[in-house]
Chain A
Amino acid sequence: MKKYESFVSSAVPLPIQEIDTDQIIPARFLKATTREGFGENLFRDWRYLPGNVPNPDFILNDTVYGGEILVAGKNFGCGSSREHAAWALYDFGFKAVISSFFADIFKGNALNNGLLPITVSPKLLDEIFEKIETNPKSQFKVDLENQKFTILDTGKSTSFEVDPYKKMCLLNGYDDIDYLLSIQDSIEAFEANQVTF
């Protein structure tokens, strides 16, 4: 995994609640056996009309908006555990998703793939949406090291939570497997004490 560095970017607003992973990447695109290329079908059924015509009303087809940050309504990533959703967002070019609330499994999957889920208050989320609506080129700064999210225009900053272990992994480009392989002895010791039937 690549080391996660702080960055400044504009953001894409998706002010819809309960966006499930079937919308992020529909099941019919889960037949691939590698992790790459899912960005092409990100939000497929919202992005394209029947006949593969880009839907002009969908935000990702509006050239006014862009950036490495996706801002979405509450309960983002609910539903299926498919990690393909995180892969698709990352593959498309997103490095952070901002919402007032994330579904558990999606959150874990995102963190395992260099995609940072940033939880903000519902009030701040509305403020961010308004900010982008007023000026689609508004810039935001994501600083994982200091756990800070900043609206650059106004300088308004907010701190966000991230699990200390996952933060360490992201900043250093480690993954969980490296860690788990390093503690094999204690896993075997645990097994030796486990009662089995």
Chain B
Amino acid sequence: MRGSTPRNVAAGLAAVAIVAAAAGCGDNKDGGSGDSAKTADGAISMHGVQPQNPLIPGMTTETGGGKIIDYMFSGLMRYPAGGGNPEKLAAESMETTDSKVYKIKLKSGMKFHDGTPVNAKSFVDAWNWAAYSPNGAPNGTFFNEIDGYKDVHGEDPDGEGPKKAPTPTAKEMKGLKVVDDLNFEVTLSAPFSIWPTKTGYAAFMPLPESFFKDTAAFGKKPVGNGPVSFVSWQDNVEVKLTRFADYSLDDKVKVKDVTVKLYQQDSAAYADLQAGNLDFMEQVPISALAGQKWKSDLPDRAIETNIPTNGIIAFPLYDKRFQNADLRKAVSLAIDRQLISDKIFFGSRPPADSWANPSTPGNPSASCSVCKYDTAEAKKLLEKAGGFSDEMVFYYNADSSHKEWMEAVANSVRDGLGIKARAEGVPTFAVFRQMIDERKMKGPYRAAWQQDYPDVENWVGPLYVTGGSSNDGDYSNKQVDALYKEGTSAKDLEGAHAKFAEALKIVDADVPSVPVYVYKSQAGFGTRLANVKVDHVGELDISAVELK
């Protein structure tokens, strides 16, 4: 039952939780109809799931803990709701002339929840800790652009175990330099124009000195610098947060207490939401979406938002049978995306039409020329590719709700191309991921990508560049790699985005994978709340919310 919801799809399957510096949106002043006195000592509750890792920014890779880290920490940048370019949060300024050396100045007067000051050292030490490989932080790879990263992060020499990664030669990255209390300088090993955007991601949050004294204790009782501070964490029951009185940035929360209730089944949370025992749920259960039932269950209390995640069918390009681009194009053209969106997802996940998410800054719109449904063209391309004589098996992990749409894809391809095709489930996500990691997939398989930070670079780099972190089909095109490099070393974002758009044109000709649909979140809230807004990943904006 768990794992049958879109939330968990995103949690377990779609990359890492995207984490905004803080969920704030200071410029939203409309629709406020709350009672300010009630709000000032009011408490709200929201749906959550038990965090799977210690509550440490560098350790948190899933949405359960990601949400809490998100609320508790404020990073250099924040990502505005509804997409768009990031804004400065803890950073006063971030200057560069060559996209290689960044001079960062922090806002003054910021404090951690334990009262200690947030300074340049808090950032530099936190980043060094996460990047240092013996600490085993899953988010350590986010620092790979910084000069000296290779000296602190050892990797398994043959890339697949069982050999151990060598112990690194240094403990600190030489590209990080503290200038004074509020200033520090970051030198990258090569120019990377998107780097400031990246610093809004959870892995880049500052950490107080107490963290380095006892990391294990910190993971159970974290101390952040965000608008809410930690009160308690009762396993499988709830995490309590409260307003941080000394918070100095502009995304202060108006309510006093925030409780994240840890549910195992979203149906229980949905029943609580309808009965008034829960104030906010970022994703209603799939069963409530059928026939738009959730909108009648929650009159005027339903919010639908785009979230930056795509559902994808990936090809194992290491398998000879899938190395012909025309075949891959034929498969893509034979998928009736509209029908799948309407019938399987009840319209809650619209068809994909571009190689990145439509809301991503820098995404060239409708860039995918093979994302339409055209069986005549598909058959022609299949013939050109020499046909496909084997049975095409589409793989998915059966522990989450992918069966229906993957079967629809297989049937669509079978009927559209006139070949044998079916869908087959792999028992669990872990086994599925292992097959992918070991490059043992024998057919096209389900994938998803949720951007870590809002920029088209976070799609081109991980998915289409040779050796990208989620380029699991081993797609490789020298032109794409070269354009990506030109883009990342461009002087400004516009120049970078132009290069990435060019790279995506080549991707469009190669079709290394097939975008199928884009995700939307369907959130619901209780009658007590006013001024409810959701952030860029569909979570509640706790800075805006008020009580009636």
A binds B: no
Contact surface of A with B, Cβ cutoff 8 Å: none
